[in-house]
Amino acid sequence: MSFGKLEEEYPEVGKWISAVTTKESTREIYLRGMGGFIAFSGLKPAEMLRIKKEGLKQGEIRTLVEDKLVEWIRSREKKYSQKTIKAEAAAVTSFLTFKGFQLPKRIAKVAGKESKELRDPEQAEVEALISYAHDLEKKTLITMMAESPCRPRVFAALRWGWLEDGWESKDIANIRLPKEFRPTESGPRKFEPIAFIGKRSIELLKRLKEQRGTVKAEDRIFPYTHTWFKQSVRRIFQRCIEEKAVRASRPEEQTLSLKSFRKYVFNAIDACRDISPEWRSMLKGRDLGVEKYYSKENIENLREVYRAKVYPRIWKHEEPTRLDRLWQQLEDWGENPAEILKEEGIKKLAGARKKIKHGGPRIWQFEYEWTDKEKEEILQERIRDILERRGSEHNGGKPFESRIVSEDELTAFLDEGWDLVKELSNGKIVIRRPLETE
């Protein structure tokens, strides 16, 4: 088989190779890798895709494609260098990723050594890490890394002035990286993505800015050493394991690290099947190559792609948590849950600082960061206090949670047991249902 004719023989290969690289050297390596794997496995590209698609339907993470890939790599270990094997095996991975299929882990056994796979966090694990980050800076860092696939070097250098003008009032904000992070010529240098963050990061950054007071454009958002970055995530991860909020890494996995969050966002991008290869490359920072990619028009177009496609994948929609319901109930009554937690935090820190005189740990936080479980207990207690003051006003002394929905949403909520209260002048509808407080 002539590897140079793969593009003509298999249209799937032609579309893939044209989209992922324009460099002749990379093109040659990838085509040689794909041709070698096809010849060894007997699987044509269309058959690979069919097997992966059926595997997804059946819930099978590892399929015949992965089995054949492992066999192919091992058959080449005594004949070729580790670098060559990795490069050619990357062709198969790139092809499947381009078609929307991810290999379950790094299965390549190279030079007799099984490389540990990168810990690939799930949303629940990311949420747990954010919850157990007991100061605002670490909480902000983890949230931003979960929303933007920049390399750790970007977050270590990040300045307030890199956030676009008016970022505080946006739902999706662009991080304007300096040109040293965005080369203008193709080559081996590492490119960063056209980076965005969503409303969760924006809200935390606003709190952090308020906590700091006056900040300058050149001030770093995370003013610590590289050691702080590595240790912060590692220590929070260990705390989550001790509290059984996340599982410990398996023997074949790396510990959860800064790079894990980059992979987390990549997974969200790859899960969006209807994104063009160009947009996907720009979101990942894959050899963007020329300055035109950073044009205002492209950034605005990509912002919409991120808002509509990627961000919902990063934070998949889930039913409101108990904390959400308690928070909403207090707001419906005109209370400020954030201020309630802040007041309790001041009391908590005051008590902790007293222990310093007796040899206890030093406390530097300006604001105590509660876990979600602690927040639930505090807000639930405040709801009980309000009910005691008001007496048995509604529902035999039990509170209601309220929500304002559109007419299109009404039917679904009524099916779930909500009651219609009234229609507002703007066309929205008020609904409610009893809130459990026990």
- d(Cα 390, Cα 297) in Å, to the nearest integer? 55
CA distance 157 to 177: 10
Q: What letter represents residue 37's amino acid?
A: F
16-58 pLDDT per residue, tens: 888 877 777 778 888 888 898 999 999 999 999 998 888 877 7
Which pLDDT score, from 0 to 100, does residue 362 have? 42
Mean pLDDT for the stretch of residues 229-244: 89
Q: Which residue has the higher pLDDT, 375 or 175?
A: 175
| pLDDT band, very low/low/confident/very high, at 398 (cuts 50, 70, 90) | low
| Whole-number percent of the chain with pLDDT over 90 | 22
Task: Give the per-residue pLDDT at 294.
Answer: 66
| Whether CATH 1.10.3470 fits 123-314 | no
> Is 0.75 surpassed by the pTM of this model?
no
What confidence category does residue 403 fall into, taking pLDDT thresholds of 50, 70 and 90?
Answer: confident
- Distance, CA of 237 to CA of 235 (rounded, Å): 5
pLDDT average, residue stretch 221-237: 85
**Listed residue (112, 435, 121, 116) closest to 262, CA to CA:** 121
Q: How many percent of the chain have pLDDT more than 70?
A: 79
What is the amino acid identity at position 207?
R
Average pLDDT rounded to a whole number, residues 60-82? 82
Burial category of 207 from C-beta neighbours within 10 Å (exposed 0-12, middle 13-18, buried 19 and up): middle
Confidence of residue 109 (pLDDT cuts 50, 70, 90): very low
- For residue 222, which of 167, 149, 142 has the smallest C-alpha distance? 142
pLDDT averaged over every residue in the chain: 79
| Torsion 286-291-294-295 (CA) sign | negative
Provide mean pLDDT across the span 247-264: 87
- 262 in Cβ contact with 145 (< 8 Å): yes
Count CB-CB contacts under 10 A for residue 189: 11
- For residue 28, what pLDDT is reported? 84
Q: Range with the lowest mean pLDDT among 115-124, 193-202, 281-290?
A: 281-290
| pLDDT band, very low/low/confident/very high, at 342 (cuts 50, 70, 90) | confident
Question: At residue 386, does pLDDT exceed 60?
Answer: yes
Strand spans (E) along 317-435: 400-405, 419-423, 429-434
Report whether 136 contacts 151 (CB < 8 A).
no
In this structure, how many other beta carbons lie within 10 angstroms of the beta carbon of residue 105? 16
Specify the range with the lowest mean pLDDT, choosing from 17-21, 85-89, 110-114, 405-409.
Answer: 110-114
